[in-house]
Structure 1
C-alpha cells in the first residue's frame, strides 16, 4: 500500500487543491486519509483507479 502526499498527488492529478477538495466533498474523488494533526494523504491505488475510470470514459 502506498500513500500519496499533496505534492505527489499533483504529479498524477492536474487539478488545484481547491478543486480536489470540492470533488472529494461531492464524492467524485477518493477521500483523503488523515495521517496526523496536519498531514493527509491519498491511497495511490484509489487515485490510479479514479484515473483509469476517466480514461475508460473517454
Structure 2
C-alpha cells in the first residue's frame, strides 16, 4: 500500500455490497480473487465487518480496463 493512503484524510471505505456492485461479480468470485492475490485485501473494521479502501478498488478497476483495452488493440485474450 502506498503512503498516499495513509496521508489522505479523505479515505473512503466500501462495504462488500458496494464492491460487488462496482465490480459486477459474485461474492464467490470476490473471495477467489482476494485469495489468489488478484484483488485488494479488505481491512477488518470489527470481528464481523470488513471494508475496502475505495481508491484501491478504483485502481483495480482502472487496471482491468487498461489491460482489456491493451489486449484488444494488439494482444491476446488468452
Shorter-chain TM-score tier: over 0.9
Q: Which residue does 1:51 correspond to in 2?
A: 61
* Gapped regions of structure 2 (runs ≥ 5): 1-10, 69-78
Which structure has the larger Rg? 2
Aligned residues: 58
Question: With structure 2 as the length reference, what TM-score do the two structures score?
Answer: 0.71
Segments of 5+ residues of structure 1 without an aligned counterpart are none
TM-score, reference length from structure 1: 0.93
RMSD of Structure 2 on Structure 1 (CA): 0.8
